[in-house]
Amino acid sequence: MLLNTCLIALSGLIAAVSATVVNDTIRVQSYNLRYDSKSNTITPAKTFASLNKTVAYDFELDYYSTYSEQAWSTRRVEVANQVLFNAPDVLCVQEALVRQVRDLHGLLDGYDYVGVGRDDGVQSGEFSAIFYKTESVNLVSSSHLWLSKTPYEASKYDGAGSKRIVTIGNFTTTIAGSPFTAMCTHWDDKSDDARQYAASMIRYAGAYEAEASDGVVLLFGDFNSQSSGDDSGGYEIVTGESDMLSMNSTFTSDYASDLSDSFAFTDLLTVTPPRFRSGHHATFAGFYEIGDSDSFGRIDFIMAGNNGGWSAQNYRVEENFFDNEYHASDHRPVLADIVIGSYTT
């Protein structure tokens, strides 16, 4: 009896000593791919077969000589290789036409995706798609909303340049089962009113998702506007600096939650410790020559809900233009590592 008690106490002690609490960290990426404006029918296999196997001599190189926009069939090589190298668990892409989505699905071994074309809710128009690494995260459910006064119909906000959408996915991590929701979006380039309406809907829906899943809510977006200045109304609303606009009442009743009043998103860059911020500042760089930064701006963001449960570890704005290549896109990829839970080993 006494021996038994001692043994139990001893094994408990050993378990306590050897148990290690490990962070459940996910790497996430947001990337506006630039829609395929120079469309052709070249297959990925054909592109790969055309790559030069001979490494250039240094003296031959004319660095940064090709800065003009290349066809997606050329750009996708760098895009896919960069994703595979950085290996994000979640990759939110914007401006992707269906052929770009299909190419990436084929090129990104081990990734699946959710998302629909914003023009018809099926395949037409740009996707704000969420790719995810099936080995590390499970998709639980997903949906999408149009960022307009009729959110359940393929529709455009009055005065906006295009139909705009948000793709929403519920996920859990494979290793610890930590729940999180990913929201992927691309706001209007013409109308700040449309951006403010989009921001209001996303903040309101984010509150609902935070309460429903009791998990971390992440927002990935090309906001088409910076964090301050005349056209930053969307950023101010989504981060809680300004109030939400009044929205479609069917939507506000469907997405009502106890967090509606208190929920807002935090710009991850602002809470990442300075020593772990790296890479570029601007996320839009255009198809310009090196040094021409007139149109630069930080307009692509990764954010997390203020309901907590997360901690920002690393934040990095990656490169889109390499010295012996071409621009992979007119935007740069934004990456973050976020702790969203823990587990014991």
Ligand X SMILES: *[C@@H]1O[C@H](CO)[C@@H](O)[C@H](O)[C@H]1NC(C)=O
88-101 per-residue burial string, b: 16 or more CB within 10 A, e: under 16:
bbbbbbbbbbbebb
Among residues 105 and 149, whose Cβ is nearest to ligand X? Answer: 149
Binding residues for ligand X, how many (CB under 6 A)?
23
- Establish if 60 lies at the interface with ligand X (CB under 6 A): yes
The radius of gyration of the chain from alpha carbons, rounded to an integer in Å, stands at 22
Answer yes or no: are the C-beta atoms of 169 and 139 closer than 8 Å.
yes
- Establish if 147 lies at the interface with ligand X (CB under 6 A): no
C-alpha to C-alpha distance for 73 and 252, rounded to whole angstroms: 42
The residue within the footprint of ligand X, chosen from 212, 242, 245, 279 (CB under 6 A), is: 212
Among residues 68 and 249, whose Cβ is nearest to ligand X? Answer: 249
Q: How far is the CB of 51 from ligand X (least distance, A)?
A: 9
Q: How far is the CB of 313 from ligand X (least distance, A)?
A: 6
The residue within the footprint of ligand X, chosen from 242, 248, 260, 306 (CB under 6 A), is: 248
CB count within 10 Å of CB 220 equals 28
Please name the residue that has the structure tokens 């930064």. 293
Among residues 144 and 332, whose Cβ is nearest to ligand X? Answer: 144
The residue within the footprint of ligand X, chosen from 104, 108, 154, 168 (CB under 6 A), is: 168
* 302: nearest Cα among 95, 26, 23: 26
The residue within the footprint of ligand X, chosen from 5, 54, 68, 344 (CB under 6 A), is: 54
CB count within 10 Å of CB 131 equals 25
The residue within the footprint of ligand X, chosen from 9, 14, 15, 56 (CB under 6 A), is: 56
Q: In what order do the strands lie in the sheet with 137-146?
A: 137-146, 165-173, 179-186, 216-222, 300-305, 265-267
CA distances from 238 to 139, 149, 234 (A): 25, 17, 6
The residue within the footprint of ligand X, chosen from 73, 170, 283, 320 (CB under 6 A), is: 170
- Establish if 271 lies at the interface with ligand X (CB under 6 A): no
The residue within the footprint of ligand X, chosen from 99, 102, 105, 149 (CB under 6 A), is: 149
Judged by the rule CB under 6 A, the positions of this chain that interact with ligand X are 23, 52, 54, 56, 60, 141-143, 149-153, 168, 170, 209, 212-213, 248, 250, 311, 313, 339
